[in-house]
Amino acid sequence: MRFTFRALPAASGGALTPRPVVDITLDGLEAAPIECLLDTGALRTRMSAEIAPLAGIELSGDLTEEFSIAGLKTVGTMARVNLMVTDGTDEFIWDAPVWFCDPWPHPFGLAGLEGFLQHFLVTIHAYHGYLEIEPESELQDS
Amino acid sequence: MPTMTVSGHQYSLNSGNIEAALQGALPEPIHEHFVVINGRRWPPKQVVALVTGLDRADFTSHHARRVLTRLGFPAGRTVTGRGHHTVASGATAPPLSAAYGADERPAPSVETLRPYIGLWVAVCGDEVLVGAPSPKEVVAWLSQHGQRAQSMFRVVDSEQAITGAAPQ
């Protein structure tokens, strides 16, 4: 499954460097998959807490962690969610912990190790501006 | 200020009061005809209904489009009910042409996204379905109009918003 890097307009004019992103659908919010930046340095998969109620996810606050991101102190609350990615032809569905954070400084979610990268074989073709993901074979067999 | 007749009523309209009437409103899905106002595509009938308060059954799309083009707004028509821009160029990257395979889906170009800087958008193919200040409003619009997006994100309003992303 292939995802082309996405370019955004720069507020100062021109365009920002295209970035590796994957659109991840949360169970309950099928109409609006969330753009997530592939972040190989992130331990968690994180999104804005604003997104959770839109998917019908109640953040109980049982499992939270405080951390800093982009210079901002924030609190993440974990919820297990069914996630899905599709390229319009195939789709992959998996269950994973997602940390919904408030406040959240980024305009997209972060697809990190837990929740995303551990579930896929990811190949980044940065020069050509795209990435490919395949479900890990061990996960498919289990 | 030019005076125009819509459905037998006379209205004094100019581009300024059209733009003002659209403040706070979100464009409905484009089925065929559209006009471009402040960089966004709007169904002509929605615009004229918002400005005049008339029922949409009282005038046609063609009439609404004619009124708006006379005020200087560019108009267009989609071929299949969705916009058809060219694929994003990725201007600052190495050549992307090799990336486009059979499974490639188009994405809105940088120029298509530019009017939405600072807003949350829902996109499908190369088209922006809706842009709004919050994801809640975007999702509400999708639900209201029975639309499904390919991706939802906020178009960054500062370059710093997408740097230094790794959690500590």
- pLDDT of A34 > 90? The answer is yes
Exposure letters B38-63 (e unless 16+ CB within 10 A, then b): eebbbbbbbbbbebbebeeeebebeb
Task: Using pLDDT thresholds of 50, 70 and 90, give the confidence band for residue B43.
Answer: very high
Listed by number, the residues of chain A in 83-122 with a beta carbon closer than 8 Å to a beta carbon of chain B are 87-89, 105-108, 110, 112
Considering only CB atoms, A31 lies closest to which of B142, B154, B163, namely B142
CB of B86 within 8 Å of a chain A CB? The answer is: no
As a whole number, the mean pLDDT across chain A is 90
Most B CBs within 10 A among A1, A3, A5, A8, hence the mutation to make, goes to: A8
- pLDDT of B163 > 60? The answer is yes
From chain A, the residues in CB contact with B124 under 8 A are: none
Confidence (pLDDT) at A138? 60
Mode of pairing for the β-strands spanning B9-12 and B40-42: unpaired
Confidence (pLDDT) at B87? 28
CB of A69 within 8 Å of a chain B CB? The answer is: yes
- pLDDT of B50 > 90? The answer is yes
Question: Given the structure tokens 């609404």, which residue do they identify?
Answer: B64
Average pLDDT of span B57-77: 86
How many CA atoms does the CB half-sphere of B6 hold within 13 Å? 31
Q: How many CB atoms lie within 10 A of CB A62?
A: 8
Say which DSSP state B72 is in. T
From chain A, the residues in CB contact with B96 under 8 A are: 4-5, 18, 128-130
The per-residue pLDDT for range B68-103, each reduced to its tens digit, is 888 888 888 776 544 433 222 233 334 443 444 434
Average pLDDT of span A99-112: 93
Confidence (pLDDT) at A139? 58
Q: How close B40 gets to chain A, by Cα (Å)?
A: 15
Span of A90-104, A128-142, B124-138 with lowest mean pLDDT: A128-142
**Beta carbons of A106 and B88 less than 8 Å apart:** no
**Beta carbons of B142 and A2 less than 8 Å apart:** no
Q: CA-CA distance, A6 to A121, in Å (whole number)?
A: 20
Say which DSSP state B100 is in. -
Confidence (pLDDT) at B97? 39
Considering only CB atoms, B96 lies closest to which of A53, A107, A129, namely A129
**Beta carbons of B159 and A4 less than 8 Å apart:** no
The per-residue pLDDT for range A39-96, each reduced to its tens digit, is 999 999 999 999 999 999 999 877 999 988 877 899 999 999 999 998 888 888 899 9
Task: Using pLDDT thresholds of 50, 70 and 90, give the confidence band for residue B155.
Answer: very high
**Beta carbons of B159 and A125 less than 8 Å apart:** no
More confident residue, B162 or A11: A11
Residue B17 neighbours by CB under 8 Å, 6+ apart: B51
| ipTM (interface predicted TM) | 0.87
The per-residue pLDDT for range B108-151, each reduced to its tens digit, is 889 999 999 999 999 998 899 999 999 999 999 999 999 999 99
